[in-house]
Structure 1
Amino acid sequence: MSSSKELNPELQKFINAFQPSKFKILKSGIEVRGVSNIQNGIEYAKQIIQRLKLNLLVRHTADMTMYGGFEILEQ
Structure 2
Amino acid sequence: MSSTKKSEDDLQQFIKAFDPNKFKILKSGIEIRGISDIHRSNTLAKELIQKLKLQLDVRHNAEMTTYGGFEVVKL
Instruction: Give the TM-score normalised by the residue count of structure 1.
Output: 0.90
Shift of 1:17: 0.7
Q: How many equivalent pairs are there?
A: 69
5+ residue gaps, structure 2: 1-6
Partner Cα distance (2:65, 2:47) in 1: 19
Which contiguous aligned blocks of 4+ residues in structure 1 show a shift greater than 4 angstroms?
Answer: none
Amino acid at match of 2:50: Q
Partner Cα distance (2:9, 2:28) in 1: 13
1:72 alignment partner, SS class: strand
Residues 22-43 of structure 1: CA deviation (Å, up to 9, x unaligned): 0000001000001110000000
Amino acid at match of 1:65: T
**1:12 matched to 2:12:** yes
Partner Cα distance (1:56, 1:13) in 2: 11
Cα RMSD after superposing both structures: 1.0
Partner Cα distance (1:63, 1:38) in 2: 12
Instruction: Give the TM-score normalised by the residue count of structure 2.
Output: 0.90
Paired residue for 1:21?
21
Partner Cα distance (1:18, 1:42) in 2: 11
Percentage of identical aligned residues = 58
